Homo-oligomer: A and B are copies of this chain.
Amino acid sequence: MIDLTVIQVAIIEDERVVLDSLMAFMGKDPSINVVHTGYSIEDFLSSAKGKKTTPNVILLDVNLPGISGIDGIAPLKKQYPGVNIVILTTFEDSDHIFRALKAGACSYISKQTSLLLIGEAIKIVAKGGAYMSPAIARKIVGYFAPEKKKPKNLTERQNEIVALIVEGKSYKMVADSLCVSIDTVRSHIKNIYRQLEINSKAELIRKSYNGEL
């Protein structure tokens, strides 16, 4: 018989050092019981068959071999409907954060966070709450705020070009739309890429969709 007052936790983490310290810490906490671990999503799911205990909380790394932690959220929730996913990672950019949340993660915690706080976060999500690291929570609230977009000093013209590119247009189409030479568009794109520190259309589109410009 499983003690329902004890939180059943699973951990998916490929770094031994991190996994070991998490295990060691939780082993000392009587209210937490680590029932299952894995080095990757695939590893975890394949070995999940033989388990009879269902985790309440899954502590999930993002940078995993094979399927990424974020892409792994869906299969994990399929295997364990209603499980609480806690992302534990070093990636703190908006892109990763929002993709994780959209996939159904309920907490997103920086690996900088102390073990004590991670333990607290687990207890919080097990009770139906959610915990976010301060810097991450700030990015999330920033999503809602009317945001005075002061960010990327992009020129009016540059924003115009970005808008067309994001719509899926080619350089040629943008040039025609704006009635300028395709070389002009190229020139603008080069400057935009340099200013945004990116080097592909894909990244530009992603940034745009994440409101990062």
Q: Which residues of the other chain, B, contact A102 by a CB distance below 8 angstroms?
A: 144-147, 211
Q: Complex Cα distance A101/B146, Å?
A: 9
| A134 close to B131 (CB less than 8 A) | yes
Interface-facing stretch out of A40-48, A189-197, A202-210:
A202-210
Q: Which residues of the other chain, B, contact A182 by a CB distance below 8 angstroms?
A: none
Q: Complex Cα distance A163/B66, Å?
A: 12
Query: Which residue on B lies nearest to A203, using beta carbons?
Result: B168
Say whether A32 faces chain B, with CB atoms less than 8 Å apart.
no
Q: Complex Cα distance A128/B127, Å?
A: 27
Shortest C-beta distance, A139 to chain B (Å), equals: 8
Q: Which residues of the other chain, B, contact A35 by a CB distance below 8 angstroms?
A: none
Interface-facing stretch out of A8-16, A20-28, A50-58, A104-112:
A104-112
Say whether A71 faces chain B, with CB atoms less than 8 Å apart.
yes
Binding site for B on A (CB under 8 A): 71, 98, 101-107, 124-125, 127-135, 137-138, 140-141, 144-147, 163, 165-170, 200-203, 205-206, 209, 211
